[in-house]
Structure 1
Amino acid sequence: MPVHRSGTAQTSRRRLAAAGALLSSLALLLALPGAASGADVPERGTARMGQGVIAHDGRQAGSPARAAAAAQTEGVDVSGHQGNVAWSTLWNSGVKWAYVKATEGTYYKNEYFAQQYNGSYNVGMIRGSYHFATPDTTSGAAQANYFVDNGGGWSRDGKTLPGVLDIEWNPYGAQCYGKTQAAMVAWIRDFVNTYKARTGRDAVIYTATSWWKDCTGNNAGFGTTNPLWVARYAAAVGELPAGWGFYTMWQYTSSGPTVGDHDHFNGALDRVQALANG
């Protein structure tokens, strides 16, 4: 009997040692660049415009500085994260345009899309929809088609803005989705070319300058065709990505889950209408 107890103790010690080694290996793996623990990775489909900006560049409170004569038109962007939106309240506060998340990848459709997209229209806003890109899951063409088929279309009614490609930090893994800079540029080109073929409009590109530099090599090939929606949560818009001499929209703050992120359109309301009309 004593021998049996000794053997059992040795076996237990060996099992504990093996378990400890396994845990150490997992800890090392999670510490690698670009890796994230399960607790850190959100559920697929929950990504929203600016989520990566907050995580990477941080959030600065306060209103942006404005040039004395610069006309800016206030807007918001929302996603399923906001649920049913009180559009009348936003309209009365001065918000005149809105973008609503329609899709993500080729696997998610915003369950609140109808309330948000139609509700903003019904109170008088000029509105459009956006697609959260996941370049590591399917091709740019596949995601553009999915977007157009599920709320990302366009019509010349004076109230519908062209669709937006939201391309930013990956909330689910490596920030550039495992792509080289050249491959990322090719993916974006595939998306915007397909979107234009389907709708007749050049998609707006939403991004942050630092992400664009890291993941496209600061490619300058989209500035003459695709309007820029730049994300920077600060008092000044700062440096723009290469190829764009000016921004069309600026997401300047993320103000919480009830009213969405706030944005400036770089011009008076008639310029918003001009973009809607193409």
Structure 2
Amino acid sequence: MSITVRAARSVVTAAALVAALGFGAVAPAGADPLIGNPDTPIGETSGGDATEGDTPMGSQIAKHEGVSAERARSLTDPVPADAETRAAVAGIDVSGHQGNVNWQAQWNAGKRFAYVKATEGTGYKNPYFAQQYNGSYNIGMIRGSYHFALPNKSSGAVQANYFVNNGGGWSRDGRTLPGALDIEYNPYGATCYGLSQQGMVNWIRDFSNTYKNRTGRYPMIYTSTSWWSQCTGNLGDFSSTNPLWVARYAASVGTLPHKWGFYTIWQYSETPIDQNSFNGAHDRLVALANG
């Protein structure tokens, strides 16, 4: 068999696996299943503002911090060994880049919770939100929604309200997780969005308090330890109010951001779709949903 034929078969097999696992339409050749068509810049939407778009959760963390050798890109990236030794629940997060998700395939793969991107800044709403948010719920998962923060665009309060008004709410039904604030490297400019460290802490607190006032829950905070240290200077302590969702693509979760003594969710891989582990048994996930 020629090298060309073998390579072609490998591409077909990988694409088929991506489709079988329920990641929407198969991306074109050369595309990353996480961020979609490489010919479309991250953040750009058809007819939309190229500085407020569909930036996938963690895409900037992978870009800036990389993926360690033990978390090498793989279509069958397993749960880390140290997560398997505890009671842990597997989940995923999705954005508009995944399109219509095959939730039955995800359920069959053992995923029991999902976070769905709802909004970014105040100029973007995920066009696949209804299919993803309702589809994960209907298959039996516990689901939540997240907002990609652009702190240089508007206040934390303005973005929290935009999030709540466009899919970021919460209800005490045992199946809906608190909304999550995705705060990470700026995909469109300066790493810390031009804010001082204290200014960033104030922005996050403004978002958090507004979300709490609107929904009765503090939002989950999604971030990486490196970004948090750089852009907040460890000046603010959110550990007693906001559950931590930490991103680190390695064999262990490593050092946590300032003052958090434990994580609630660990995003341990970004292929072929973001993979997450809840730090506890399923009944504790239900308890988190119930507040």
* TM-score exceeds 0.5: yes
Pairs within 5 Å for 1:96-111: 96-111=112-127
Pairs within 5 Å for 1:49-198: 49-59=57-67, 60-61=71-72, 62-63=77-78, 64-66=80-82, 69-198=85-214
* Contact 1:77–1:98 under 8 Å retained in 2: yes
* Contact 1:220–1:241 under 8 Å retained in 2: no
Amino acid of the structure 2 residue aligned with 1:54: A
Determine helix, strand or coil for the equivalent of 1:198: helix
CA deviation map 1:161-183 (0-9, x unaligned): 00000000000111100000000
Deviation at 1:243, TM superposition (A): 1.3
Q: Which shifted more, 110-119 or 218-227? A: 218-227
Determine helix, strand or coil for the equivalent of 1:55: helix
C-alpha distance in 2 between matches for 1:108 and 1:118: 19
Residues 233 and 69 of structure 1, relative CA distance in 2, 3 Å threshold: closer
Residues 40 and 80 of structure 1, relative CA distance in 2, 3 Å threshold: closer
Residues 65 and 138 of structure 1, relative CA distance in 2, 3 Å threshold: same
Deviation at 1:218, TM superposition (A): 2.0
For 1:233, the equivalent position in structure 2 comes to 249
Amino acid of the structure 1 residue aligned with 2:275: H
Amino acid of the structure 1 residue aligned with 2:258: A
Deviation at 1:252, TM superposition (A): 0.3
Deviation at 1:219, TM superposition (A): 3.2
Deviation at 1:138, TM superposition (A): 0.5
For 1:27, the equivalent position in structure 2 comes to none
Residues 42 and 148 of structure 1, relative CA distance in 2, 3 Å threshold: closer
* Contact 2:265–2:279 under 8 Å retained in 1: yes
* Contact 1:220–1:244 under 8 Å retained in 2: no
List gaps (5 residues or longer) in structure 1. 1-38
Amino acid of the structure 2 residue aligned with 1:194: T
For 1:261, the equivalent position in structure 2 comes to 274
CA deviation map 1:116-136 (0-9, x unaligned): 000000000000000000000
C-alpha distance in 2 between matches for 1:138 and 1:87: 34
Q: Which residue of the other structure, out of 213, 223, 238, is the alignment partner of 2:229? A: 213
TM-score where L is the length of structure 2: 0.79
CA deviation map 1:175-209 (0-9, x unaligned): 10000000000000000000000000010000000
For 2:53, the equivalent position in structure 1 comes to 45
Q: How many residues align?
A: 237
* Contact 2:178–2:219 under 8 Å retained in 1: yes
C-alpha distance in 2 between matches for 1:266 and 1:96: 13
Residues 214 and 194 of structure 1, relative CA distance in 2, 3 Å threshold: same
Query: For the pair shown, which has the larger CA radius of gyration, 1 or 2?
Result: 1
CA deviation map 1:59-92 (0-9, x unaligned): 2325422166411100000000100000000001
Amino acid of the structure 1 residue aligned with 2:163: F
Determine helix, strand or coil for the equivalent of 1:130: strand
CA RMSD in angstroms comes to 1.4
TM-score where L is the length of structure 1: 0.83
Q: Does 1:223 align with 2:239?
A: yes
